[in-house]
């Protein structure tokens, strides 16, 4: 089994930005790092392409903790995305896209075998030091979710995926790779093989 951190390839492919000069509007409209449902009050913001000279991909950076995808990618990944959270429609001009709000936030890190970079200056609401970064990952395989795309509470902004844990045809990364979808990178962070 392998676990990857999902990253957007913003150096090679287009990304979206909210059409607003006010950062507060951006924060309110696209807060995807809390793993809370948005579909009940979803009012898609007006977005545009930030870097139009780059190649169009199938995935677009939208905000911290999420991404958008085109119809082709959604058709292939809908089941995995719906298992992981919400699929929210969003348009760029007249073109239809889908934002993914990942609600699957699982406590699956093996803390005894991870190495954390702790920020001693800041504490959480319980007075515990805040994890600044995870330097070495270790996972409790039995705690991984059914959805092959998920988040962890120690890195709520990060998006993770696995391979080799269930049927390969049903795993997010394998679907992306086998269909040559563009715009994502997968950084290997943990392997049992």
Q: Which band of pLDDT confidence, cut at 50, 70 and 90, is reported for residue 19?
A: confident
Q: What is the pTM of this model?
A: 0.90
pLDDT digits (tens, 9 = 90+) for 86-110: 999 999 999 999 999 999 999 999 9
Q: What percent of the chain is predicted at pLDDT more than 70?
A: 93
Confidence of residue 26 (pLDDT cuts 50, 70, 90): low
> What DSSP string runs through the chain?
-EEEEEEE-TTTB--EEES-S-HHHHHHHT--SS----GGG--PPPEEES-TTSBP-SEEEEETTEEEEEHHHHHHHHHHHHHHEEEEEEEETTEEEEEEEE--B---B-GGG-EEEEEEEEE-TTSPEEEEEEEE--B-GGG--SSSEEEETTEEEEEEEEESSS-GGG-HHHHHHHTT--SEEEEEEEE--
Arithmetic mean of pLDDT over the chain = 90
């Amino acid at each position: 089994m392998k676990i990857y951190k999902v990253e957007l390839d913003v150096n090679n492919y287009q990304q979206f930005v909210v059409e607003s000069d006010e950062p507060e509007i951006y924060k309110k409209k696209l807060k995807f790092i809390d793993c809370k449902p948005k579909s009940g009050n979803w009012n898609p913001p007006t977005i545009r392409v930030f870097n139009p000279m780059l190649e169009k991909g199938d995935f677009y950076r939208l905000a911290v903790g999420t991404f958008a995808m085109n119809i082709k990618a959604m058709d292939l990944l809908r089941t995995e995305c719906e298992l992981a959270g919400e699929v929210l429609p969003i348009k760029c001009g007249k073109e239809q896209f889908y934002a993914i709000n990942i609600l699957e936030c699982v406590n699956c890190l093996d803390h005894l075998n991870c190495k954390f970079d702790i920020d001693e200056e800041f504490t959480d609401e319980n007075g515990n030091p805040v994890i600044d970064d995870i330097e070495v990952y270790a996972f409790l395989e039995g705690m991984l979710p059914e959805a092959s795309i998920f988040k962890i509470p120690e890195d709520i902004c990060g998006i993770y995926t696995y391979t080799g844990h269930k049927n390969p045809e049903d795993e997010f990364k394998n679907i992306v790779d086998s269909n040559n979808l563009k715009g994502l990178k997968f950084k290997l962070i943990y392997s049992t093989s």
